[in-house]
């Protein structure tokens, strides 16, 4: 049996395409959110915002974007950024490799492209941290190149508009979505069209309970006509979730606390945390004491449980139990530990802390 032709499956006559384009763009002009990266056509803020928006909601990104642009207002300044300053600006936004890749790419642009962002899609895709979606979004918004930016929001809108059943991450639906979006994309003004499509997905064509009454495409939408909008797009298989039980210690000594820098190629590398680990044994407190002794050569006595921090990193659901601790005499000849520092609580803001460490600092501040 021959494969279904993706273009044929979603074909629309030109007059219909023009109606959809005009309707969406008129809606966008009236309803787009005022966002700081939309105030300029400069490629640098557009690039930074697109990287921050990967896996992250617009409302979360706004304050980080403003802080980042104040700290590194130009590509050259980003290329020169110190790791700790860079991570401090990103702390709490997650997926920290995005920040490292931004700086890596900025260095490549300064070194090999005279500080200019390339206009060629192929060259853009060679830069660290830029995949097909981000590359298309940057080039269409900054340079009006007719490239479709197919993110999760856009997939949802198109799957519903054309009523495409099946897993959108796989053939043939994946090809149909790309063909559907590409034929709708105008030859000029593709950046506005891409942003309008994303905005529609983010604010109207919501994953649950889409607001079809407010949608400029409601009279064209095949899913709405059939009443199946709530179950499209179909969900692919999600990666298994790993439950992680961890314990950490807030070790106080003469009013200061011990924090350490995550080293090597560990997740959250170079971020700062309170010392601790993941444990499989049921007795967390006992495991933590032994761990601190073997790893940091610190003999501690655990006291009260300070707090329990629950959070998620990629597909790991973490429950971190935090204990107050004191050093047990006799104290070692030196309290200096490689990669760790004794700090006053008031100094915590100077370090790029992990999300868990920030929550612990909040708990300590509230004490
Ligand atoms: S009519 Fe409803 S389901 Fe269809 S595109 Fe608009 S918001 Fe989405």
- Cβ–ligand 1 contact at 98 (below 6 Å): no
pLDDT surpasses 60 at 52: yes
Whether residue 236 lies inside any domain: the answer is no
Is pLDDT of 16 > 90?
Answer: yes
Q: What integer is the mean pLDDT of 37-47?
A: 95
Quote the ligand 1 centre to 153 CA distance (angstroms): 12
Ordered DSSP codes for 89-158: HHTTT--THHHHHHHHHHHHHHHHSTTPPP--HHHHHTSTT--HHHHHHHHHHHH--------HHHHHHH
Instruction: Evaluate whether residue 1 is within a structural domain.
Output: no
- Is residue 153 situated within a structural domain? yes
β-pairing, 316-327 vs 300-313, is: antiparallel
How high is the mean pLDDT of the chain?
93
| 206 and 261 belong to one structural domain | no
> Does the structure show a pLDDT above 50 at 3?
no
What pLDDT shows up at residue 85?
95
Q: 236-276: per-residue pLDDT in tens?
A: 777 788 999 999 999 999 999 999 999 876 678 889 999 99
Residue 38 lies in a domain: yes
259 with 341, same domain?
yes
Structural domain that includes position 61: 6-231
Both 60 and 207 in a single domain? yes
Q: How far is the CA of 214 from the centre of ligand 1 (A)?
A: 9
- Please tell me the residue having the least CA distance from ligand 1 atom 2: 212
Higher pLDDT, 365 or 3: 365
Q: Read off the pLDDT of residues 116-153 as tens digits, 9 standing for 90 and up.
A: 999 999 999 999 999 999 999 999 999 999 999 999 99
The CB of 155 under 6 Å from ligand 1? The reply is no
- Please tell me which residue, 312 or 100, carries the higher pLDDT value: 100
Instruction: Assess whether the C-beta atom of 191 lies below 6 angstroms from ligand 1.
Output: no
pLDDT above 90 (res 76): yes
Helices (H), 282-325: 284-296
SS3 359: helix
Q: Please tell me whether residues 212 and 79 are part of one structural domain.
A: yes
Q: Does ligand 1 come within 6 angstroms of the Cβ of 204? A: yes
CATH of the domain at 15: 1.10.340.30
Same domain, yes or no: 165 and 248: no
The CA–CA distances, whole Å, from 219 to 8, 15, 70 equal: 21, 15, 44
- Mean pLDDT over residues 15-44, rounded? 96
| Domain identity same for 216 and 246 | no
Q: What is the pLDDT of residue 5?
A: 61
331 neighbors 356 (Cβ within 8 angstroms): no
Last residue of a domain, one of 179, 201, 231: 231
> Cβ(217) to ligand 1 under 6 A?
yes
Cα(20)–Cα(54) distance, rounded to whole angstroms? 27
Residue 359 lies in a domain: yes
Query: Which pLDDT does position 1 carry in this prediction?
Result: 43
**Does residue 7 have a pLDDT over 70?**
no
**Which of 199, 231, 263 represents a domain boundary (last residue)?**
231
Pair (169, 248) in one structural domain: no
Residue 50 appears among annotated catalytic residues: yes
User: According to the model, what pLDDT value does residue 53 have?
Assistant: 95
CATH of the domain at 293: 3.90.79.10
Considering the domain boundaries, does residue 133 fall inside one? Answer: yes
Look at the chain and report how many structural domains it folds into.
Answer: 2
| pLDDT number for residue 127 | 97
Say which of 50, 199, 273, 324 is annotated catalytic.
Answer: 50
289 and 153 inside one domain:
no
Q: Are residues 136 and 220 in the same domain?
A: yes
Q: What is the pLDDT of residue 101?
A: 96
Q: What is the pLDDT of residues 155-212, one digit of tens each?
A: 999 999 999 999 999 989 999 999 999 999 999 999 999 999 999 999 999 999 999 9
Instruction: Supply the pLDDT for residue 9.
Output: 73
8 or 57, greater pLDDT: 57
Q: What is the pLDDT of residue 216?
A: 98
Residue with CA closest to ligand 1 atom 1? 218
């Amino acid at each position: 049996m021959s494969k279904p032709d993706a273009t044929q499956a979603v074909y629309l006559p030109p007059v219909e395409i023009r109606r959809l384009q005009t309707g969406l763009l008129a809606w966008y002009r009236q309803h787009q959110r005022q966002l700081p990266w939309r105030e300029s056509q400069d490629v640098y803020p557009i690039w930074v915002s697109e990287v921050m928006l990967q896996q992250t909601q617009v409302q979360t990104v706004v304050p980080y974007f403003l802080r980042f642009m104040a700290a590194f207002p130009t590509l050259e300044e980003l290329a020169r950024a110190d790791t700790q300053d860079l991570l401090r600006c990103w702390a709490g936004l997650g997926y920290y490799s995005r920040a490292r890749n931004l700086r890596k790419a900025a260095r490549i642009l300064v070194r090999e492209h005279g500080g200019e962002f390339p206009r060629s899609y192929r060259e853009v895709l060679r830069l660290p941290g830029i995949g097909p979606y981000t590359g298309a979004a940057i080039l269409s918004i900054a340079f009006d190149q007719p490239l479709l930016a197919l993110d999760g929001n856009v997939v949802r809108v198109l799957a519903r508009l054309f009523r495409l059943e099946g897993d959108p991450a796989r053939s043939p639906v994946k090809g149909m979505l790309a063909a559907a979006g590409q034929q709708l994309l105008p030859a000029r003004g593709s950046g506005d069209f891409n942003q309008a499509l994303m905005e529609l997905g983010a604010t109207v064509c919501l994953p649950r309970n889409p607001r079809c009454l407010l949608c400029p495409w409601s009279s064209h939408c095949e899913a709405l006509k059939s009443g199946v909008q709530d179950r499209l797009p179909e969900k692919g298989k999600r990666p298994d979730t790993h439950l992680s039980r961890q314990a950490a210690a807030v070790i106080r000594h003469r009013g200061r606390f011990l924090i350490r820098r995550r080293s090597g190629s560990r997740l959250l590398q170079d971020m700062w945390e309170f010392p601790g680990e993941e444990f499989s044994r049921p007795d967390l407190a006992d495991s933590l004491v032994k761990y601190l002794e073997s790893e940091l050569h610190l003999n501690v006595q655990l006291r009260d449980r300070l707090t329990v921090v629950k959070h998620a990193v990629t597909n790991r659901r973490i429950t971190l139990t935090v204990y107050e601790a004191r050093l047990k005499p006799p104290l070692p000849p030196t309290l200096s530990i490689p990669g760790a520092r004794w700090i006053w609580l008031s100094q915590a803001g100077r370090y790029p802390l992990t999300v868990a460490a920030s929550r612990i600092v909040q708990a300590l501040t509230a004490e």
